[in-house]
Amino acid sequence: MRSFQKDGGLKVTGRDALVHDPPTALLRYHSCMNSASSFRIEQATAADIPLVLALIRELAEFERLLPEARATEADLRETLFGDRPFAEVVIGRVGSEAAGFALFFHNYSTFLGKPGIYLEDLFVRPAHRGKGFGEQLLRHLAQLAVQRGCGRFEWSVLDWNQQAIDFYKKLGAQPLSDWTTFRVTGEVLQQLAGEAE
């Protein structure tokens, strides 16, 4: 059983978390699609910007962080679909309805000498929960990680979201309690940048 260490948040280990046989994984994945009300996962395009922003705001409301969700459609157009996209988005749909989304980007492990995938946001709308759609989104990203030669697939979760923590552990992800995330933003970021000049 292989184990993929990471730099913070959660790590994914073992064959149940990162599938090492993509063809078999794809067969399982399509089987799940057929049994889950024709749930499908599509790469977002610029035409989906209003939807992506709506999903981000719904996620922020669920996380009790709505006042911090200041992104605009213009921001998403520039940073996700502009000349230099900084992240990717996939949308899970049932019929014509968006059931959820995942936003992710590549990071890098100097210890492994390989890229990784960092999951920034995973959200399934309340009406579509309990149907395995969140797991399908995670497995889709795990497949991308394997296909792209990544050594890690990682994300963070709010401490109070025990249901999500239990779900991730069931999939083989492990919390890394010996790491602490640091962040600078806003005026503090500007001050730090100014001191480097």
In a domain, 72, yes or no: yes
Q: Which of 29, 108, 118, 168 is catalytic?
A: 168
Is pLDDT above 70 for 37? Answer: no
The HSE-up count of residue 115 (CA atoms within 13 Å, CB side) is 12
In a domain, 177, yes or no: yes
Q: Could you tell me how many residues make up the chain?
A: 197
Round the average pLDDT of the chain to a whole number and report it: 85
In a domain, 153, yes or no: yes
Question: Does residue 29 have an active-site annotation?
Answer: no
Looking at residue 196, its pLDDT comes to 54
* Owning domain of residue 180: 10-195
**pTM summary value:** 0.80
pLDDT above 90 covers a percentage of the chain that reads 79
In a domain, 1, yes or no: no
* Distance from the Cα of residue 122 to its chain's centroid: 5
Tally of structural domains, the chain: 1
Q: What is the rounded CA–CA span in Å between residue 193 and residue 73?
A: 27
Is pLDDT above 70 for 142? Answer: yes
195 vs 154, more confident = 154
Which CATH number covers residue 118?
3.40.630.30
In a domain, 49, yes or no: yes
Q: For 49-79, what is each residue's pLDDT tens digit?
A: 999 999 999 999 999 999 999 999 999 999 9
